[in-house]
Amino acid sequence: MSRLAKKSIAIGKSDVSVAGGTLTVKGTKGTLTKRVHPSIDIAVDAAGGVLVTSKDRSRLGRVLVGTFASHVKNMVAGVETRFAKKLILEGVGYRVELKGSELVLTVGFSHTVALKVPEDVTATVEKNIIKLESSNKESVGQFAANVRRVKPPEPYLGKGIRYDDEVIRRKQGKKAV
């Protein structure tokens, strides 16, 4: 069994409810819902915590306990404070602009690349820095990965799209003889 699932998850000021196989977490920054797997049981206790247990002794049930405990913890944290990712464009002529609900990237291709921003993600652009925020950790992380996938940083000049805290290991390149 997961160590996360052995302890009760503190919910703070958020409201957690489970009904009909759906987990709902409401807080000051939004509301998140997630379907619960049939072999997982989520109980909200009166002491202000959530306990995730397995309904059966199957291997799948034991494996999913830790996964759903982590999901609940992230959902409770997301409705209290939003998750944020920062992406930086590096390179001569590389630009990004926000047109409506699309990010338009100019990153050295013969064409621009337009990516639709998900509904629950808020994107802001200033110069060559993209800041993504959402209550849902999964959606903000997946969209940031999709943006980075357009032009990952290359090791010789460091050009491309990278995370704010990412360190690019640089290679030396050719030497003059």
The third-level CATH classification (topology) of the domain covering 83-163 is Outer Surface Protein A; domain 3 (3.90.930)
Which conformational region is residue 114 in: left (phi greater than 0), alpha (psi within -120 to 50 degrees), or beta? beta
Work out the percent of the chain whose per-residue pLDDT is above 90. Answer: 69
Helix extents (H) in the chain: 3-6, 59-80, 137-150
Q: For the segment 112-163, what is each residue's pLDDT rounded down to a tens digit?
A: 999 999 999 999 999 999 999 999 999 999 999 999 999 999 999 889 999 9
SS3 46: coil
Domain boundaries 3-80, corresponding CATH code: 3.90.930.12
Least confident of 46-50, 90-94, 155-159: 46-50
Structural domain spans, the chain: 3-80, 83-163
- Residue 1 predicted with pLDDT over 60: no
Alpha-carbon Rg for the chain, nearest whole angstrom, is 21
In angstroms, how far is the first alpha carbon of the chain from the final one? Answer: 60
Class of residue 174 by CB neighbours under 10 A (exposed 0-12, middle 13-18, buried 19+): exposed
Residue with tokens 């464009």: 89
SS3 49: strand
pLDDT, average across residues 23-49: 90
Work out the percent of the chain whose per-residue pLDDT is above 70. Answer: 98
Same fold, 3-80 and 83-163: yes
